[in-house]
């Protein structure tokens, strides 16, 4: 009989808010260091900025501690206190990049090789090839992204809505084990995923990977329902069995329970960092301002981190590598 997963990643709902590793508030000295590092790297291309030349004497060690906590703690950190109103969009982008180099290596988020992605409503409609959930204003479902750690930095928040929701996938697993252990066999087995619309550098039309997995007794979960649904809508893939479908629906139902997840709203300057192997995230639908300059706008980075867990071999096709600490995830650039 499987046992519940224990440890600091197994938080439930508001328990996370009481955790020491959930929030870091930047003090004036840290902001001064970021500003100085920005000035020192002005002559460098964005991707030439790294933790060696973007010097953060006191903030840097704190970020390394966050890197450790993301893997071995709750898997989630909110950094607050950055005065976004004092900097231009380009300056914030460079500061965000420099800060995240202390956590890991940014991987591509598109076939264009974008390593910083702009999350905003681009007006795409359902069915357009370039449409991605982050580039709409619709509500997203709980999911993970194809990387070890995802980071978001808020430049502008919406007029209303756009609330972040976050759940421990460890606790989702434990709840399913307690209530419906019969479904776990399905969720530990591979599901088909269809290649993303914008993942045109990927030669594989499909991959297969489980929702929940254990390798060397270490838990990992990856979940993107939209690509699973697209795969099983194709005639090339065997149809979902009723039990497989029930299992997926139960993952969604458990994660969406108000007592299971937390809600928070990023304000301009806020940075959210999440370990995709132990958390799921989503955001609510939002209403934007009419003026372009005031519309909701976040920066997103996908990171491969040097202290990452080893994964089951089933993830290799989608992530490129499964070894602990490997550069993995992202999309192949064309």
In a domain, 74, yes or no: yes
The CA distance from 157 to 295, in Å, is 7
Residue-level pLDDT, tens digit, the chain, 334 residues: 789 999 999 999 999 999 999 999 999 999 999 999 999 999 999 999 999 999 999 999 999 999 999 999 999 999 999 999 999 999 999 999 999 999 999 999 998 999 999 988 765 455 545 555 566 667 689 999 999 999 999 999 888 878 999 999 999 999 999 999 999 999 999 999 999 878 877 788 899 999 999 999 999 999 999 999 999 999 899 999 999 999 999 999 999 999 999 999 999 999 999 999 999 999 988 787 777 777 889 999 999 999 999 999 999 999 999 999 999 999 998 7
Q: What angle do CA 22, 24, 26 make, to 5 degrees?
A: 165
The CA distance from 222 to 315, in Å, is 9
- Closest Cα to residue 26, out of 269, 262, 275, 301? 269
* DSSP-derived 3-state class of residue 151: strand
Phi, psi dihedrals of residue 214, rounded to the nearest 5°? -135, 130
The tokens for 320 are 């490129």
pTM: 0.94
The CA distance from 51 to 55, in Å, is 6
In a domain, 40, yes or no: yes
In a domain, 140, yes or no: yes
In a domain, 6, yes or no: no
| CATH number of the domain encompassing residue 72 | 3.60.130.10
Q: What angle do CA 255, 258, 259 make, to 5 degrees?
A: 90
* DSSP-derived 3-state class of residue 26: coil
In a domain, 272, yes or no: yes
Phi, psi dihedrals of residue 59, rounded to the nearest 5°? -75, -35
Give the model's pLDDT for residue 128: 47
Which domain range does residue 292 map to? 13-319
In a domain, 205, yes or no: yes
In a domain, 276, yes or no: yes
In a domain, 2, yes or no: no
Q: How many domains does the chain have?
A: 1
Run of H or E residues at 76:
strand 76-80
Read out DSSP for 184-230? HHHHTS-EEEEPPTT-TT---SEEEE-SEEEETTEEEE---HHHHHH
């Amino acid at each position: 009989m499987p046992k519940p997963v224990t440890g600091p990643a197994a938080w439930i709902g508001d328990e996370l808010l009481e955790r020491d590793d959930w929030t870091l508030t930047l003090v004036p000295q840290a902001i001064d260091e970021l500003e100085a590092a920005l000035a020192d790297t002005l002559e460098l291309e964005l991707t030439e900025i790294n933790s060696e030349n973007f010097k953060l004497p006191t903030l840097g060690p704190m970020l390394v501690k966050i890197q450790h906590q993301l893997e071995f703690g709750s898997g989630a950190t909110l950094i607050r206190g950055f005065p976004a109103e004092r900097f231009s969009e380009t300056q914030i982008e460079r500061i965000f990049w420099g800060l995240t180099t202390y956590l890991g290596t940014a991987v591509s988020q598109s076939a264009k090789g974008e390593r910083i992605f702009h999350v905003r409503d681009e007006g795409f409609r359902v069915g357009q090839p370039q449409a991605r959930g982050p580039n709409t204003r619709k509500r997203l479902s709980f999911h993970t992204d194809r990387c070890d750690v995802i980071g978001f930095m808020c430049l502008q928040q919406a007029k209303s809505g756009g609330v972040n929701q976050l759940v421990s996938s460890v606790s989702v697993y434990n709840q399913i084990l307690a209530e419906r252990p019969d479904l776990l066999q399905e969720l530990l087995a591979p599901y088909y995923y269809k290649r993303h619309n914008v993942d045109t550098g990927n030669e594989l039309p499909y991959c297969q990977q489980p929702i929940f997995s254990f390798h060397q007794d270490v838990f990992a979960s990856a979940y993107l329902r939209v690509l699973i649904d697209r795969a099983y809508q194709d005639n090339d893939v065997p149809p979902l069995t009723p039990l497989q479908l029930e299992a997926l629906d139960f993952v969604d139902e458990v994660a969406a329970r108000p007592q299971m997840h937390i809600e928070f709203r990023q304000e301009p300057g806020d940075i959210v960092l999440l370990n995709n192997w132990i958390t799921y995230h989503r955001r609510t639908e939002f209403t934007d301002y009419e003026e372009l300059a005031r519309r909701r706008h976040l920066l997103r980075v996908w990171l491969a981190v040097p202290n990452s867990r080893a994964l089951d071999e089933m993830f290799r096709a989608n992530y490129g590598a499964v070894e602990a600490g490997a550069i993995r995830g992202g999309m192949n650039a064309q």
